[in-house]
Amino acid sequence: MSAEPGGYAAARLRLLTGEGRSGPPRRAALAELTDAWLAGLLGEAGRGIALVAVGGYGRGELSPRSDLDLLLLHDGRDPRAVAGLADRVWYPVWDQGIALDHSVRTLEEVRRAAADDLRVQLGLLDARHVAGDAELTASLRAEQLARWRADAHRRLPELREAAQERAGRHGELRFLLEPDLKEARGGLRDATALRAVAASWLADAPREGLEEARCALLDVRDALHLATGRPGDRLALQEQDQVAGALGLPDADALLRRVYEAARVISYAGDVTWREVGRVLRSRTMRARRPAPRAPLAEGVVEQDGEVVPARTARLERDPVLPLRAAAAAAQTGLPLARPAVRRMAAVAPPLPVPWPAEAREAFVTLLGAGEATVGVWEALDAEGLVTALLPDWERVRCRPQRNAVHRWTVDRHLVETVVRARSHVRRVGRPDLLLVAALLHDIGKGGPGDHSVTGGAIARDLAARMGFEAADTAVLATLVRHHLLLVETATRRDLDDPATVRTVAGAVGDTGTLELLHALTEADALATGPAAWSAWRAGLVADLVGRTRAVLAGEPPHGEGGRLARPGAGAEDERLAREARRTGGPVLSLHTRAEAPVDGGSGPPAPGPVGAELRIALPDRPGVLPAAAGVLALHRLTVRAADLHTAGPSGAAPDEAPVLLLSWRIAAEYGSLPGPDRLRADLVRALDGSLDVPARLAEREAAHRRAHRARRGGGAPPPRVTVAPAGSRLATVIEVRAQDAPGLLYRIGRALDGAGVTVRSARVSTLGADAVDAFYVTGPGGAPLPDAEAAGLARELERALGG
């Protein structure tokens, strides 16, 4: 290879764009090509000078846009001569636009730098000779490996602490929608750390699948570099389809699943390795090492050296329930399953008979009911294929991404996290076993086509029969999975004072026992989803719906059975505001700030966030109220987290009084403090009489928001979707709106509905992460539901008005 930059650049381009070579062969070929070029740049330097590759380049794994990590090692000769040699190498590299991490040191300077900086020492563990004095490089390698092994008792805890701190900053690679392939937990830097542990000779990482996982992440990074034309390790959303295509994968979801599977292997290998490092280091502090005692935990299961293993007398080949007994014992005691034991059980233990025996089902439920300890044990079983052996349908959700900002986990981890959350509710339900199993299976249908709740209900029925549940219990589990979204969607999107709402829920649930299980599952599912999916407000709405449904199941008629869509009894605050609105004839407001508190029982103060408040508005019913109120809130940069609109009819004392419209808002200031109610009222009056030009004031904000949204995401949001809810109500037409939340969205919806000449009799508005999910109960001029064709036309018009 010529030392001329043009020759290297052309050869490098051919290697990166040519067909037939990718993955490890291309990375190795690129490293060899670069070695030859750099050797030509250094030339005949004589003894006492060596050019050494370290880090990823030292491992011979050069990605298209990787830095070159180079050390010019010398024997302490004339600094000016050494500087001249360095310039001979560094400047051509820079001229090529290649990032360079370089240093010029003597052996003694290398010793000091490695002693002071762990990352320097880690890079030197992969030192590889490129050019010059090979004996000098060999001395460096031998010395650094010996020093690493001698200092392992001190350096390895430091390395583990660095990995934990990095994971805290960058998160878990296998759960992120825009992961950092290198820095996140389970990424390339963790794989490098496991190589360093192996080099210490204190412990070794599980080898099976680890190298393949590391290569998979490197392949993705190569494709990312080639697709974007720039260095970097973050797999951004807008680049995932292109990277997937470069790797021959069908779509971005397939790409993320490959990344997640690789990260899971590396994360699990890290857990096992660091546990072994801790055991070895603890043993070195003991003056006399004695054989660890084996304490019995269950039939055929013992604890040894802080891990759960089969007893010596266990007959693995004859005991199909032993893996579940061992898993249950590990979870109950909070001890890890020894990896060799899990592998042996996976290889030797016979499959469970179908249906499962009662002992297996009981051990499985015990495993699920262990709380946080369930997660680690489940991961150990899953890593060795035992989960899919028990539940074949698990494979469809394993490592499956969820492209929803509300969700924080992959589908499989979300299911396990829901089980953990359900553990706190087992005392309030009659069948905790059904609650835990339903929590594990509620999203099992997400791996298939169609509505995941419908698909999941059928899968849950099959799996419950496989587990040996009786027919009645199997039916309950299928119902729980089929309707696991029923309560929260109904409570937040339907008017609970419409008799059809509660009767629909009661008909789907069937009995109070299933209702209490569904209530507990709903909360566990929401809490396991993420902070945006649950709040005290949603919990209150769901509890209200459950109470009303329980009453109907007990034989009581639902509120409003007489055919009037109105609340039978408003709260004292609403009654006061309604009276004042009738007396003054104008809008009346009350504003109460509210302290945001954790709803999952977590300790500590809530995370910092916008100031929240409850805003109530009452005013005589008239057209244009909804868009006017929503527009004023948007102008004051108030985010609407939830809203409820309903009409208070005339009081019994004065039946001729005009109805009053009551709007209840949960709002938050985007920044700064909340405006006072007097200021909000004044702007609302101006908006209603037309002196405040709300559309013009909002136009600029909306345009700025759209520009910022495109800049962050690399494209527009999915278009709004407006539908007519089938059989939503006998008294009104229910229009559902799903759209990207944005300033002024609710104003535009209200304005479009007003323009269509319909009356909004009630509404439920909620925001889930970045999405608005709203339901509007509307009637025609005569106060009746809209005809089907007219309702469908309204939905289309509203969709067009929102930009769909």
Judgement on whether residues 409 and 475 belong to the same structural domain of the protein: yes
Last residue of a domain, one of 150, 169, 200: 150
Cα separation values, 169 from 64, 163, 391, 409, 530, Å: 26, 10, 34, 17, 18
CA 187 vs CA 57, 206, 448, 512, 699: distances in Å: 17, 16, 29, 47, 44
DSSP 560: T
- What CATH code is carried by the domain that includes residue 251? 1.20.120.330
548 and 579 share one domain: no
| Closest alpha carbon to 804 in 728, 748, 721 | 721
Tokens standing for 115? 């002693």
Domain that holds residue 320: 300-353+373-390
Same domain, 256 and 159: yes
Q: Judge whether 251 lies within some domain.
A: yes
**Are residues 711 and 625 part of one domain?**
yes
Domain membership of residue 785 (yes or no) is yes
Whole-angstrom CA distances from 794 to 510, 723, 754 are: 34, 9, 11
Token code pair at residue 158: 């430091």
Pair 421, 338 in one domain = no
Mark which of 105, 121, 150 sits at the end of a domain.
Answer: 150
The Cα-based distances of 338 to 271, 301, 322, 377, 552 in angstroms read 11, 12, 14, 10, 52
Determine contact, residues 206/269, Cβ cutoff 8 Å.
yes
> Is the same domain home to 170 and 263?
yes
Length of the chain as a residue count: 804
**Tell me, what amino acid is at 180?**
D
Is 662 domain-assigned? Answer: yes
Report how far residue 227's alpha carbon sits from residue 246's, in angstroms, rounded to the nearest whole number: 8
Please indicate, yes or no, whether residues 201 and 334 belong to a single structural domain of this protein. no
> Is residue 360, in this structure, part of any structural domain at all?
no
The verdict on 631 and 747 lying in the same domain is: yes
Query: Quick one: tokens of 479?
Result: 């119902």
Which letter does DSSP use for residue 449 in this model? Answer: S
Q: What are 265's two structure tokens?
A: 């292997």
How far is the C-alpha of 694 from the C-alpha of 683, rounded, in Å?
Answer: 10
Indicate whether 292 belongs to any domain: no
| pLDDT value of residue 764 | 84
Q: What is the CATH number of the domain that holds 37?
A: 3.30.460
Q: What whole-number distance in Å separates Cα of residue 275 and Cα of residue 253?
A: 33
What confidence score (pLDDT) does residue 605 get? 37
DSSP three-state, residue 433: helix
The whole-model pTM stands at: 0.77
Task: Quickly list H helices, 670-732.
Answer: 677-689, 694-713
Indicate whether 320 and 415 sit together in one domain. no
Does 407 lie in the same domain as 331?
no
Please give the Cα distance from 325 to 692 (Å, whole number).
Answer: 70
CB-hemisphere CA count at 13 Å for 576? 6
Please report which helix (H) or strand (E) contains residue 538, including its range.
helix 536-553
490 contacts 548 by C-beta, under 8 angstroms: no
**What domain count does the chain have?**
5
3-class SS string, 298-318? ECCEEEECCEEEECCCCCHHH
- The confidence score (pLDDT) of residue 566 equals 42
Q: Residue 556 to residues 506, 541, 547: CA-CA distances in angstroms?
A: 12, 20, 11
Same domain, residue pair 63 and 187: no
Q: What is the CATH number of the domain that holds 521?
A: 1.10.3210
Query: Last residue of a domain, which of 535, 563, 591?
Result: 563
Question: What's the confidence (pLDDT) of residue 512?
Answer: 94
Residue 368 C-beta-side C-alpha neighbours within 13 Å: 24
Residue 581 lies in a domain: yes
- Residue 705: predicted pLDDT: 55
* Residue spans of the chain under pLDDT 70: 1-5, 20, 285-292, 405, 559-571, 594-611, 649-657, 671, 701-717, 727-728, 768-770, 804
Helix (H) or strand (E) holding 78: none
Rg of the chain on CA atoms, in Å? 32
Nearest C-alpha neighbor of 422 from the set 539, 533, 542, 524: 524
673, 761: one domain: yes
Q: Which one, of 56, 26, 51, 53, lies nearest residue 40 by Cα? A: 51
pLDDT at 559: 65
With respect to residue 362, please indicate whether it lies within any of the assigned structural domains.
no
Establish if 226 belongs to a structural domain: yes
